[in-house]
Structure 1
Amino acid sequence: MSSYTGLGALIELEKTPSITNPAAVVRKDKQGIASTPSDHELDQMQWGKPMKGPTVTVQGAHTPLTPSELESSNPSTPTGKGAVDLVQSIFNPPRNKWRLLSVCFINFANGLNDSAPGALIPYIEKDYNIGYAIVSLIFVTNAIGFIIAAPFTHALESKLGRSRCFILSLSLLATAYVIIICKPPFPAIVASFFLLGFGMAINLALGNVFCANLSNSTAALGGMHGSYGIGGVIGPLVATAIASHGVRWSFYYVLNLATALFNLVFSAWAFKGYEKESSVRLITALQKTASRQETTEEEEGTSKKGLLKQAVKSKVTLLGALFIFAYQGAEVSTSGWVVSFLISYRKGDPSKVGYVSAGFWAGITLGRFLLSHPAQRIGRKLAVVVLVAGSVAFQLMTWLIPNVIGEAVTVAILGLLLGPIYPCATAVFSSLLPRNIQMSSLSFISAMGSSGGAVAPFLTGLLAQRAGTFVLHPICIGLYGVMVVGWVCLPRLPKRSE
């Protein structure tokens, strides 16, 4: 006992101090006087109130993301105090939800416009006493309008702003519809389709770029192009109902005129002040750092005239243009000529088989709403190959099944498979393209797509004049082959991490 006491006298036990955080860094001014930190200037660039510090709550087990999910995911947006939202979303800034709705309404109206000629062609031919080849000129001038608009879209957007560009686009559409409603000589009808192509090229490029640069771009693009499909369903139904009941076919375009005027007012309001909130401006400001100074100077040195040249030289732009050229060629050819095929080879009643075109567009609409997300889950590049292969199979069925009802079903399923291809492809192209040429590149791709939507139906009409409307199917199958070639030659998607 005494030895223990003596040992305790030699050893002094001390309590271990608790571990503390390092001392805070004190900011001092030039005179060496300590000062409290000020609010970060970038807080004033946020939409809404500055957000608090980043917090992440993890609950339960989490499955690691697959490579395809990482490939298709968008990088997270900074959420700490002093951070700035570089990537807009559907709800941030708040007016974006109205902008997306406006873009959807515009594309809905475009669907009404593009799907109607398939049901109206038999009545136009009868009214003007013309054949397949002559009536196909409306597809050609529509494509020429798209092609001519491509070099000007970016310049118009830079000079006029997003809101005024939509006003210009929809004013051209309204003018064309007034001409068609008056039922002038056929050359004037052909000229009006040029105005339709030019106007739609502008609003389609603006809408694609807006949706593709949102943080949830797949959902936005799916909604935008799904709305096009809804218009595509309604268009043939209304057109067939009007023309088959003895009403002059041109009165169908009163509906298009009304939607164009509504969209003109809505888009002008929705996109007013868009440039002040544009994420592109914020990114440009943030890029002026030491690490990005060289890149920024190069971007600023690029002239607006050189952007289209740079875009056209891009491998992604050229392959994307080839892909969409073939896609829209097959889509518009099927929509425009399948009714004539059923009348000629299946002895269908024009007042009834006109609704088959509506079934095709219904399939496209459902495909864009229902299959776009699963396509993203399995990987957009693989999904598109599978969808194209399925389209070939059902195009063959449409050609070979000797029954109107059976072919109506296969045409609808064909639309279902074709539907998600366009939004998936647009999302892939926007991921592969540099931001500074996105507008020019997507405008060029859209223009080439619409030229495909004119060349293929026009070629189908020429060959149908000599051989019969069955030529629709081998032409479409050949276009599917072109799509696959363009798709597999695209560069690999960059891997993105959060």
Structure 2
Amino acid sequence: MSNGPAKGPSRSSNETDPSSSPPSHASDQIQTLWNPYNNRFRVLASCMTAFANGLNDSAPGALLTSVERYYNIDYNTISIIFICNALGFIAAAFFINTLSTKIGRAKTIVIGQVLLMLGYTCIVITPPFPAVAASFFVLGLGMATNLAISQVFCSNLANNTVLVGFYQGAYGIGGITGPLVATAMVSHGFKWSRFYIIELCLAFFNLMFSAWAFWKYERESETSDAALPTPVQDTEHTSSRKGRNESANRNWQSFKTLISNKPTVLGALFIFCYQGAEVAISGWIISFLIQFRHGDPSKVGFVTSGFWAGITLGRFTLSFLAHRIGERPSVFFFTAGALTLELLVWFVPSIPGDSVAIAFSGLLLGPIYPCAVNIFQRLIPRNMQISSLSLIASLGSSGGAVAPFMTGVLAQKVGTFVLHPICIGLFVAMAGIWWALPGPEKRDE
């Protein structure tokens, strides 16, 4: 699932294609957490938007039963919200980079937060279900903007594995908090939609804080993490029609450069599978425990918080270990462990045992995302990173909607146990895609 400094300088015709240039080394990463001074506030603002995203992604798991009961709908229908959310992420991938390049990161963040406030306001008034689904599309647009701006910023600072780990850890804290608050509110008789008042307030806070933190970012940046490489402009054509044709051709050539970059394509597929498994577990494990383990809804609702607690702990702790022993082998180990634990949850009929296994699977899944971003950032040329990482984040994050949607459709026919074979298949696909990625150059931080 993330931005907008000034456009990079135009290239002369004898320059090499940036898509074939080697990735930047750590020495190119001039900016750190502490320099420029405002970067510390930008990282904090990024973490706050990640917290809000995590709160949003984890809450539906605890609210699904209440939403089904309120609208008298089945699994098939309620799963539409995941698809609408995914469509929002996908749509955002096509304009975030252009928008942030033209108006800057701060103003782009403002637009993203305004979209979130519109979506949450609509949900809070508890409209008919079609309006709720449409609101999740708007939320997808806003969340994708948060993700694109914030994650690309953190991934281009020095010591990025740790900083992205903190960023994703903040997302995990939101993931822990969401089910706890949602379950508590529903258990005390609050209407399910009232949970989103909290998200509305957070969106307003992030609008103010993030806009302030990023306001002078472009002026303070000494390096240009430019957008897509722009082909040479032909200054001989001055007519408006030819100018529009040239512009369209440049955009098309830039897009072709992007989708022909192997790390970008494989990265989007990897995050698609990862986010799919993560959100599917978060969204459907409670329904599985209620249907097949006969759990008490007021108690098993907290299992999702245990899963997100594991993710958060993993991102704050195992990310450091993975950075020391190597991100590539670590991801293979974490994926294999998560797959094994998923099998235990599927075949061990014990709510306490399943709850512990779910928490530990979150622990192993947690560091995978920051490890992956570190590898992608090392493989992708610097002048493509904003566009590439935005595409990876936006299209990849749509997996967090497609997998839960497919789980809901199949669960309606055969039962929620389908969550487990779907997740296992996604873990296997992750391992295969990770193996297909080229090895990054070694470098010193």
With structure 2 as the length reference, what TM-score do the two structures score? 0.88
Taking structure 1 as reference, are residues 213 and 305 closer, same or farther at Cα in structure 2, changes over 3 Å only?
Answer: farther
What SS does the aligned partner of 2:301 have? helix
What is the match of residue 90 of structure 2?
147
Does residue 1:440 correspond to 2:387, yes or no?
yes
Aligned to 1:33: none
Equivalent residue for 1:177?
120
**Separation of aligned partners in 1, 2:59 and 2:260:** 35
Kindly provide the amino acid, as one letter, of the partner of residue 122 in structure 1: T
Corresponding residue of 1:75: 26
What amino acid sits opposite 2:324 in the alignment? Answer: R
Q: For the residues of structure 2 that align with 1:461 and 1:140, how far apart are their CA atoms?
A: 11
Report the Cα distance in structure 1 between the residues aligned to 2:116 and 2:230, rounded to whole angstroms.
39
For 2:92, the aligned partner's letter is A
Q: Does 1:271 align with 2:271?
A: no
- Are the equivalent residues in 2 in contact too, given 1:371–1:420 (CA < 8 A)? yes
Deviations 1:13-36 (A, max 9, x none): xxxxxxxxxxxxxxxxxxxxxxxx
CA deviation string 1:180-213 (max 9, x = no partner): 0000000000000001101111110111110111
Partner of 1:8: none
Q: What SS does the aligned partner of 2:142 have?
A: helix
Q: Offset at 1:497?
A: 5.3
One-letter amino acid of the counterpart of residue 485, structure 1 = G
Offset of 1:258 from its aligned partner? Answer: 0.7
State the aligned residue count: 407
**Aligned to 1:280, what secondary structure does the other structure show?**
coil
Q: In the alignment, is the contact (CA less than 8 A) between 2:152 and 2:390 conserved in 1?
A: no
Distance 1:304 1:496, change over 3 A: farther
d(CA) in 1 for partners of 2:412 and 2:112? 35
- What displacement does 1:279 show? 3.4
> 2:133 corresponds to which residue?
190
Listed one character per residue, the Cα deviations across residues 121-155 of structure 1 (whole Å, up to 9, x for unaligned) are: 00000000000010000000000000011011110
Q: Contact between 2:230 and 2:254, CA under 8 Å: does it hold in 1?
A: no
1:264-303 → structure 2 map (5 Å cutoff): 264-281=207-224, 303=250
| CA deviation after TM superposition for structure 1 residue 298, in Å | 6.7
- Higher mean C-alpha deviation, range 439-448 or range 412-421: 439-448
Distance 2:254 2:185 in 1: 46
Q: Does 1:491 align with 2:434?
A: no
Which SS does the other structure have where 1:151 is aligned?
A: coil
Q: Distance in 2 between matches of 1:233 and 1:497?
A: 34
What is the SS of the residue equivalent to 1:205? helix
In structure 1, stretches of 5+ residues that fail to align are: 1-71, 78-85, 285-295
Match among 89, 92, 99 for residue 156 of structure 1: 99
1:461-495 CA distance string (max 9 Å, x none): 11100100000000000000110111011111013
Question: Displacement of 1:89 after TM fit?
Answer: 0.2
Matching residue of 1:423: 370
The amino acid that maps onto 1:359 is G
Distance in 2 separating the partners of 1:428 and 1:420: 13
Return the letter of the residue paired with 2:129.
F
- 1:388 lines up with 2:339 in the alignment: no
Change in CA separation of 1:145 and 1:279 when aligned onto 2, cut-off 3 Å: same
Query: For the residues of structure 1 that align with 2:25 and 2:310, how far apart are their CA atoms?
Result: 29
From 90, 100, 105, the counterpart of 2:43: 100
Find the counterpart in structure 1 of residue 53 from structure 2.
Answer: 110
User: Does the Cα contact within 8 Å between 1:89 and 1:214 map onto a contact in 2?
Assistant: yes
Q: 1:465 is matched with which residue: 405, 412, 417?
A: 412
Shift of residue 74, structure 1, vs aligned partner: 5.8
Instruction: Look up the match of 1:129.
Output: 72
Match of 2:292 in 1: 345
In structure 2, the CA distance between the partners of 1:299 and 1:274, relative to structure 1 (3 Å rule), is farther
C-alpha distance in structure 2 between counterparts of 1:430 and 1:407, whole Å: 36
Equivalent position of 1:371 in the other structure = 318
d(CA) in 2 for partners of 1:298, 1:253: 45
Read off the aligned partner of 1:460 and give its amino acid letter: T
| Matches of 1:392 and 1:496, distance apart in 2 | 31
Equivalent residue for 1:204? 147
Residues 393 and 313 of structure 1, relative CA distance in 2, 3 Å threshold? same
Match of 2:18 in 1: none
Counterpart CA distance in 1 for 2:232 and 2:440 is 23
- Whether the aligned pair in 1 keeps the contact of 2:120 and 2:196 (CA below 8 Å) is yes
CA change 1:192–1:258 in 2 (3 A) is same
Letter in 1 for 2:256: K
Query: Does the CA contact (< 8 Å) of 2:46 and 2:150 recur in 1?
Result: yes
Deviation per CA, 1:269-307: give whole Å up to 9, x if none: 0001110112324x89xxxxxxxxxxx997899946643
Alignment match, 2:20: none
2:305 is aligned, of 358, 362, 373, to 358
2:397 partner amino acid: S
Cα deviation, 1:302-339, whole Å, max 9, x if unaligned, reads: 94664333212211111011111100110010000000
Which amino acid letter does the alignment assign opposite residue 423 of structure 2? C
Corresponding residue of 1:287: none
Q: For 2:345 and 2:111, how far apart are their aligned partners in 1?
A: 40
Preserved CA contact (<8 Å) 1:74 1:215: no
Where structure 2 has 5 or more consecutive residues not aligned to the other structure, the ranges are 1-22, 235-248
Q: Which residue of 1 aligns with 2:14?
A: none
Q: Does residue 166 in structure 1 map to residue 109 in structure 2?
A: yes
Equivalent runs, 1:229-248 vs 2, <5 Å? 229-248=172-191
CA distance in 2, matches of 1:161, 1:73: 23
Counterpart of 1:309 (choices 227, 245, 256) is: 256
Q: Confirm or deny that 1:260 pairs with 2:203.
A: yes
